Structure 1
């Protein structure tokens, strides 16, 4: 039964497309941190380079931007400098653009032929490479970040989706390859008391079990909603955690980051030399507010829109946006028959 449900939801998720009216000037989201957002972005890595619509020019409206080609780097910076080590045995993380790639899929799927991959590898005793992309707008005051992704590879790496201003203004989704494949770490910084004992601060950091016996090695939608008084975390539309402790402030504003890294630390784990792990991403969806106007924004009469992929219980684009559609009817009929028999 569970496998059947997961299979059908996966079909719906991998057919996701973000359909946004180019006349929209504001966007809304549901959930505990429901908000009105100034700007919308959708970056689709599923079929980059394939003939057809995915080679058409990028849709570029006043406040909504939908990218289905390699121009996504117009909005994202590929990190090309290391993060220093605080002290041995922790080693520096050498973030390099070569660890960020469009990967040709070998999966048996007609829905995607490519995806974005961030990877981390232990090169030698003193070198751990990683991949990170940084959203170029560093004036974000609130955001809803959705990433349809999977993580796989050897222990000793961390996949991160987070907002960041500094080490005390940060909200994180972290998936550690050393952990059980159904555990995800959520935190707002500071998450511990610091040296010398590094005691976790209750409410600021938690480990949570993924819903419905799912694993992060499979494709799932990971979501972080950050507003100035709350952080809320989701998997596949299921709220997994929320906290009002150490929530990042709106002023000064933050940036948005997605990465895959390791450092030979007790926090991330030790990766053996020659080991590697991957963070595969089919698409990224952002709704955000900014302290100053986005470079692509212009003042107009407001038109409020809800993205198709924003739903209360679903994956990708989903059930909420398919109300009254034949697909939802068929889905419900098949599921009902399966349960009955």
Structure 2
């Protein structure tokens, strides 16, 4: 019996790859990074919960706001509670030195909202809203945070928009807490509603140096691509990998920062807030701003990322969510250890195939 070994290159179109389920995926690759593998995937879909949708009136008492109940049974479901918690802390003990307002997070400001006029460009029946509103004596705000603080490298995406009054920040970010500002680790996507509507902020924190001056290498003022504004629905993506943090809007890269990329385990946080400080500015009493999401998706590791070739290290079935014909569901790139990725660009994946044939004399 003779053994014949040959290799050859084939090209697989990820957009034509077969839909699969997470249970069949050993790990995941992301577009434009074929060396970082993610072990886990979660998808949160808020588009078809109009039966749970209800916009609660704002609670005008700073004392009552933190203890408000959740606004819908959805936020008591296992799908939500096994990943997220809704914050109710306030800044009465001081978070930012330039704050001029009491800021109070309330579960009452996290709710499902019905789409009043579904149309082809926005067919979603509902979305998740995070609300912040200026009241006479304080700013009522919204924040959701991952239960786990052990994420280490992620690719997070959300179909989202920011709308409303000047004087607010909406954000999606990774966060490692420290009592010392210099030891905080954070990768931010932030939108300031006082900014031009095509401007977003991408930062690896802390963004100030030891003298308190702005560290230019830590931040980029990025422009939304293709004429988009942050009030338009768009897919915002943040990839935190060992080498850098990279930001995308609708799959267009808008920033990449290697300087002080986070290195240690972190939380995932989304919020809408203001404290009347220099960064947020001061919202007019009675006005409000909102971060609204149709869906949120995360690929993640909870231990240090291993760099390895496909098919090794227990990762025999390799999937991707990029190029999938159905958002939230992965496609199978390859399985059973056949092949390895050598390049990934656009919707295409280049695979080197190794084949073994046994010939009987």
In structure 1, the gaps of 5 or more residues are 1-17, 52-66, 293-298, 322-341
Cross-structure match for 1:179? 195
Equivalent residues in 2 for 1:166-315 (5 A)?
Answer: 166=177, 167=181, 168-193=184-209, 198-250=212-264, 253-291=265-303, 302-307=316-321, 310-311=322-323
Number of residue pairs matched by the alignment: 273
Cross-structure match for 2:24? 23
TM-score, normalising length from structure 1? Answer: 0.73
Secondary structure of 1:290's aligned partner: coil
Deviation at 1:277, TM superposition (A): 0.3
Deviation at 1:194, TM superposition (A): 6.2
**Matching of residue 80 in structure 1 with residue 81 in structure 2:** no
- Conserved 8 A contact 1:164-1:254: yes
TM-score, normalising length from structure 2? Answer: 0.69
Listed one character per residue, the Cα deviations across residues 19-77 of structure 1 (whole Å, up to 9, x for unaligned) are: 634321211112258521010000000002559xxxxxxxxxxxxxxx9x953233110
Listed one character per residue, the Cα deviations across residues 112-161 of structure 1 (whole Å, up to 9, x for unaligned) are: 11100001011124x11111111112111100010110000001110110
Listed one character per residue, the Cα deviations across residues 80-107 of structure 1 (whole Å, up to 9, x for unaligned) are: 1213434465223211111100111113
In structure 2, the gaps of 5 or more residues are 1-18, 53-73, 305-312, 332-361
| Structure having the larger proportion of residues in helix | 1
Give, in whole Å, the separation in 1 of the partners of 2:170 and 2:213: 22
Secondary structure of 1:22's aligned partner: helix
Cross-structure match for 1:121? 133
Change (3 A) 1:170 1:316: farther
Give, in whole Å, the separation in 2 of the partners of 1:156 and 1:291: 38
- Conserved 8 A contact 1:33-1:231: no
Cross-structure match for 2:114? 104
Cross-structure match for 1:134? 145
Give, in whole Å, the separation in 1 of the partners of 2:176 and 2:159: 24
Give, in whole Å, the separation in 2 of the partners of 1:40 and 1:240: 24
Deviation at 1:231, TM superposition (A): 0.4
Choose which of 143, 159, 172 in structure 1 pairs with 2:170: 159
CA RMSD of aligned residues (A): 2.9
Deviation at 1:185, TM superposition (A): 0.5
- Conserved 8 A contact 2:22-2:41: no
Change (3 A) 1:257 1:135: same
- Conserved 8 A contact 2:111-2:128: yes
Give, in whole Å, the separation in 1 of the partners of 2:252 and 2:35: 14
